[in-house]
């Protein structure tokens, strides 16, 4: 193994460099960067830049030189294959003015792997046994191309990985993490809790929790996507227990400030939280869906074990199904239209009674792009909720210009959120 | 609009810069880079680097300066939000030594969007109306944060987009592509046709079409994801017509080789193809879902206008619902179990007769992670299909070790594929 005498642990930062013209052509979604980002964060090693560069030696060399100037750990993925395009090892060696040498143990390993698959090794694979003088082999248990661990000069530690995600990930866990830990690069750890909110705008939540956003340890950062707002509370500490001791009081304050708009943390989803509340209450649920076409039931059953509280539902895409299976009145359909509060209520009551559940939850709306009118534009959605206590409906306008899938997604999530808030009040 | 007098079209290259600490922390998978990569490739505009940088003004400035030295079109995503972390516009203006000014028309637009949603605008949102002097607004029809089009100096054209993918994509198609085309940045074009296949392994298809994979113009490249196999046929030509003249004969040969495993191209999905076949036949469909919980109906209704042929369905998650609403026999449930060919057939027949449709399609299976047994392991799924001609069922094993969501997805797609093949034989 290479030694790391030149790097003072604790003050390092890493940089991620993904090599491959196929990424620049959009043929491949670069998931390796996200994997490495999450893993580096867990180890408490900051990284400030990620770069993608094509299979071009001049541009690769430029990227390597820039990265060396600002980071102490350089992590490469891609460009270790047998084709003439695969240049990562070669270019790194050139930048540090070091010759390549063939490693007999690597060549033997590659040959063995080919013969095990009943194939003879192509001559081009021989190239994969070349490493710079002084570099250590980073073994690849799943594929033929090994990586390397190399410290070509003080304050510069290089890891190379193949671009295939499962090979890269295995090499990361098996060799790289133990290496970084044993060389003192991961003595302080970052732990996080993700707090999840629904029914509040990102800017409103950010203003409410403004004074937390400038904290240093833990830090609090807001995110928004697809209607859900999140606050990530992250602490750096020597142990997991210490990190959570920093996180918990802040998380509790944030939850208190947000009130019912906070719905859960970490792996929680609206569907899993609704499921937990229903289980706790020993109650059951059925759904009646029009514009979501099954999406609400699909979300609910994403949760393993949901059969305890979710009995099923009726997809009443057609008005005849609304009348015949859910008992929606023809008069209401005719005078008010399928997209109305009354029909939403009758759907919720109908499915509750047909499936003999405690709760009935319904959705009817105009997901577009067609079907909108002056009085009932695209994005108008009614959600109905029936229980032993009665029935209610709520109108929402999710945006005339929003896309069909997004309106359907918001409709299903908003229905879950409505039920969640009701279940919270009866707990 | 900004003018682009300084840039010689045809000799430009672009650079993609994604801003956001959340990407560096691994909280977000950077799909924007891939979208932009594909779109730039379609326009024939090369790009050689992609960079991710956190919400840090010094590092952002460094990245911008480096990008200006090597690219003529700079495309930014992220950092346009209302929080203090959102710095993209500000830092770009600083790098080019240009003051920001509040744009009244942008402020009015943001205020209107908030009031339409029944919310009052937070003060922090006001920041989103600031743009550098001289920059043109790049409108955002879906969200509050607009982008900009700005040529701060000759040979440097800047586009900024919010990080939210659907907002960014809409802004790209609506404004950016027309802008790039009308300013002469896209004179040699790459056009592609994506051919889609279901029910064949990637390696099998690749072997069947082996001789096409080394073509130069058009090129043929295979991809696989989530059960679907794709072949991308891309041609470079001076006009769209010339490109498709190169693509079509190859695409036709590939389709002929694949036979019924080919299901559609480009924006086609299994659901849209099934919908087209049902519409052509003037027939209707209803679904009965157990383990997919509504996912099959959800996929079918992703297609706008699906109400013509899709009437609805019954989510029979609970056995009582299978018996009472679908007429599944208690004996079959008891002796064979809910996950059996007989129950799948009775579900399909039941929903077809209850909803009075031509076709009834059903799914019952074990999606896991719990519920598997020696004889009925996780991943075992039965699909039933009922029509005036009778009823049939098919058993599938989607993998004991696969994840719940993936098994549910494969189940719904496989059901659609089964119906598709049946509909093809009766056309």
- Quick: pLDDT tens for A156-191: 999 999 998 888 998 999 999 999 989 988 766 778
Name chain B contacts of A325, Cβ cutoff 8 Å. Answer: 312, 314, 325, 354-355
Chain B, residues 41-60, CB within 8 A of chain A, namely: 41, 47-54, 56, 59
Is the Cβ–Cβ distance between A151 and A6 less than 8 Å?
A: yes
β pairing state of B73-77 and B14-19: parallel
Which own/partner contact pairs does A96-101 have at CB distance under 8 Å and 24+ positions apart?
A: A96/A132, A96/A152, A96/A153, A98/A132, A98/A133, A98/A134, A98/A152, A99/A132, A99/A133, A100/A130, A100/A131, A100/A132, A100/A133, A101/A130, A101/A131, A101/A132, A101/A133
pLDDT score of A8 more than 80: no
B391: enclosing H helix or E strand? strand B390-397
- Measured distance CA(A406)–CA(B141) in Å, rounded: 14
SS3 at position B59: helix
CATH number for A189-265 (one of 3.30.70.260, 3.30.70.2860, 3.20.20.70, 3.40.50.1000): it is 3.30.70.2860
Q: Read off the pLDDT of each residue in A120-143 and give the average, rounded to a whole number.
A: 88
Q: How high is the pLDDT of residue B190? A: 78
- Measured distance CA(B311)–CA(B353) in Å, rounded: 12
Tell me chain B's radius of gyration from C-alpha atoms. Answer: 26
Ranges of CATH 3.90.950.20 domains, chain A: 270-426
Nearest residue of B to residue A412, measured between CA atoms: B298
Ranges of CATH 3.40.980.10 domains, chain B: 14-182
Q: How high is the pLDDT of residue A117? A: 66
A401 touches chain B (CB under 8 A): yes
Q: Read off the pLDDT of each residue in A196-217 and give the average, rounded to a whole number.
A: 93
Planar angle of CA B240, B243, B247, nearest 5 degrees: 130
How far CA B338 is from CA of A337, B369, B410, in Å, comes to 38, 17, 19
| Mean pLDDT of all residues belonging to chain A | 92
Is the Cβ–Cβ distance between A234 and A192 less than 8 Å?
A: yes
pLDDT score of A60 more than 80: yes
Is the Cβ–Cβ distance between A249 and A256 less than 8 Å?
A: no
Of B290, B312, B292, the C-alpha closest to B301 is: B312
Query: Half-sphere exposure of residue B339, counting CA atoms within 13 Å on the CB side?
Result: 20
A247: Cβ–Cβ under 8 A, 6 or more apart, which residues? A191, A192, A193, A218, A233, A234, A235
Contact B34/A52, CB-based, under 8 Å? no
Q: How high is the pLDDT of residue B175? A: 96
Hunting for tokens 């937390």 — which residue is that? A212
Name chain B contacts of A312, Cβ cutoff 8 Å. Answer: 314-318, 321, 325
Contact B293/A314, CB-based, under 8 Å? no
Nearest to A293 among B56, B63, B301 (CB): B301
- Measured distance CA(B203)–CA(A278) in Å, rounded: 46
Cα dihedral value B181, B183, B187, B191, nearest 10: -20
SS3 at position B103: coil
Contact A52/B33, CB-based, under 8 Å? yes
Contact B300/A293, CB-based, under 8 Å? yes
Of B84, B83, B51, the C-alpha closest to B65 is: B51
B32: enclosing H helix or E strand? helix B31-43
Cα dihedral value B159, A405, A259, A217, nearest 10: -40
Which of A89-98, A232-241, A250-259, A268-277 is predicted with the least confidence, judged by mean pLDDT?
A232-241
Q: How high is the pLDDT of residue A338? A: 97
Q: What is the ipTM of this complex?
A: 0.81
- Measured distance CA(A215)–CA(A205) in Å, rounded: 16
Q: With a cut of 70, which residues of chain B have pLDDT below it?
A: 1-10, 118, 187-188, 427
Question: A207-216, A346-355, B190-199, B366-375: which has the highest mean pLDDT?
Answer: A346-355
- Measured distance CA(B81)–CA(A225) in Å, rounded: 12
- Measured distance CA(B277)–CA(B21) in Å, rounded: 47
B72 touches chain A (CB under 8 A): no
Class of domain B190-265: alpha beta
Q: How many other CB atoms are found less than 10 A from the CB of residue A248?
A: 14
Quote the percentage of chain A above a pLDDT of 70.
96
CATH architecture of B270-426: Alpha-Beta Complex (3.90)
Q: How high is the pLDDT of residue A11? A: 73
Hunting for tokens 């959009």 — which residue is that? A26
Name chain A contacts of B81, Cβ cutoff 8 Å. Answer: 202-203, 224
B21: enclosing H helix or E strand? helix B21-24
Hunting for tokens 């199904």 — which residue is that? A321
SS3 at position B233: strand
Q: How high is the pLDDT of residue B412? A: 98
Nearest to B307 among A37, A305, A318 (CB): A318
Residue A62 structure tokens:
């430029």
Hunting for tokens 């695969």 — which residue is that? A86
Å between B321 CA and nearest CA of chain A: 7
Residue A27 structure tokens:
């043929």
Chain B, residues 122-141, CB within 8 A of chain A, namely: 122-125, 141
Name chain B contacts of A364, Cβ cutoff 8 Å. Answer: none
- Measured distance CA(B230)–CA(B222) in Å, rounded: 6
Contact A402/B312, CB-based, under 8 Å? no
Contact B298/A294, CB-based, under 8 Å? yes
Quote the percentage of chain A above a pLDDT of 90.
78
pLDDT tier for residue A83 given thresholds of 50, 70 and 90: confident
B18: enclosing H helix or E strand? strand B14-19
Contact A66/B66, CB-based, under 8 Å? yes
Which of A228-237, A368-377, B220-229 is predicted with the least confidence, judged by mean pLDDT?
B220-229
A307 touches chain B (CB under 8 A): yes
A258: Cβ–Cβ under 8 A, 6 or more apart, which residues? A195, A197, A200, A205, A208, A209
- Measured distance CA(B223)–CA(B333) in Å, rounded: 41
Ranges of CATH 3.30.70.2860 domains, chain B: 190-265
What is the CATH number that goes with domain B14-182?
Answer: 3.40.980.10
Q: Read off the pLDDT of each residue in A348-365 and give the average, rounded to a whole number.
A: 98
Nearest to A223 among B27, B291, B305 (CB): B27
Ranges of CATH 3.30.70.2860 domains, chain A: 189-265
- Measured distance CA(B379)–CA(B365) in Å, rounded: 7
Q: Read off the pLDDT of each residue in A295-301 and give the average, rounded to a whole number.
A: 98
- Helix H, strand E, coil C: the string for chain A is CCCCCCCCCCCCCEEEEEECHHHHCCCCCCHHHHHHHHHHHHHCCCEEEEEEECCCHHHHHHHHHHHHHHCCEEEEECCCCCCCCCCHHHHHHHHCCCCEEECHHHHHHHHHHHHHCCCCCCHHHHHHHEEECCCEEECCCCCCCCEEEEEEECCEEEEEECCCHHHHHHHHHHHHHHHHHHCCCCCCEEEEEEEEEECCCHHHHHHHCHHHCCCCCCEEEEEEECCEEEEEEEEEECCHHHHHHHHHHHHHHHHHHHHHHEEEECCCCHHHHHHHHHHHHCCCEEEEECCCCCHHHHHHCCCCCHHHCEEEEEECCCHHHHHHHHCCCHHHHHHCCCCCHHHHHHHHHHHHHHCCCCEEEEEEECCCCCCCCCCCCCCEEEEEEEECCEEEEEEEECCCCCCHHHHHHHHHHHHHHHHHHHHHHHC
Name chain B contacts of A293, Cβ cutoff 8 Å. Answer: 294, 297-298, 300-302, 306, 310
């Amino acid at each position: 193994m290479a030694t790391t005498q030149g790097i003072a642990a604790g003050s390092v930062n890493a940089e991620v460099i993904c090599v491959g013209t196929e990424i620049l052509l959009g043929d491949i979604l670069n998931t390796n960067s996200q994997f490495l980002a999450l893993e580096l964060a867990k180890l408490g090693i900051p990284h400030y830049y990620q770069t993608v560069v094509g299979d071009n030696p001049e541009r690769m060399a430029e990227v390597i030189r820039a990265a060396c100037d600002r980071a102490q750990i350089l992590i490469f993925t891609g460009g270790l294959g047998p084709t003439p395009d695969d240049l990562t090892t070669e270019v790194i060696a050139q930048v540090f003015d070091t010759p390549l040498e063939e490693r007999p143990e690597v060549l033997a390993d590659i040959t063995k792997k080919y013969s095990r698959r009943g194939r003879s090794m192509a001559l081009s694979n021989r190239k994969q046994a070349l490493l710079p003088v002084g570099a250590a082999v980073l073994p690849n248990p799943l594929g033929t191309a090994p990586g390397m661990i190399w410290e070509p000069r003080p304050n510069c530690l290089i890891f190379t990985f193949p671009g295939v995600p499962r090979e890269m990930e295995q090499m990361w866990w098996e060799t790289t993490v133990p290496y970084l830990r044993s060389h003192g690069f991961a003595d302080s750890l970052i732990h996080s809790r993700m707090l999840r909110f629904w029914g509040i705008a990102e800017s409103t939540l950010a203003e409410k929790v403004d004074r937390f956003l400038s904290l240093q340890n833990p830090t609090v950062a807001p995110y928004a996507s697809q209607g859900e707002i999140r606050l990530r509370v992250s602490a750096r500490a020597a142990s997991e227990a210490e990190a959570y001791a920093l996180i918990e009081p802040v998380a509790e304050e944030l939850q208190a400030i947000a009130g019912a708009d906070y719905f859960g943390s970490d792996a929680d989803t609206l569907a899993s939280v609704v499921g937990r509340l229903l289980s706790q209450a020993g109650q059951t649920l059925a759904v009646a869906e029009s514009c979501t076409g099954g999406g609400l039931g699909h979300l609910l059953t994403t949760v393993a074990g949901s059969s305890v509280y979710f009995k099923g539902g009726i997809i009443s895409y057609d008005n005849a199904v609304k009348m015949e299976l859910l008992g929606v009145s023809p008069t209401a359909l005719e005078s008010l239209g399928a997209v109305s509060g009354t029909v939403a209520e009758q759907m919720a009551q109908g499915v509750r009674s047909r499936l003999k559940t405690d709760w009935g939850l319904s959705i009817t709306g105009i997901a577009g792009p067609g079907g909108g009118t002056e009085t009932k534009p695209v994005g108008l959605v009614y959600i109905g909720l029936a229980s032993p206590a009665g029935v209610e409906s709520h109108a929402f306008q999710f945006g005339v210009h929003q896309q069909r899938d997004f309106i359907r997604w918001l409709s299903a999530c908003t229905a879950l959120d409505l039920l969640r808030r009701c279940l919270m009040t009866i707990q």
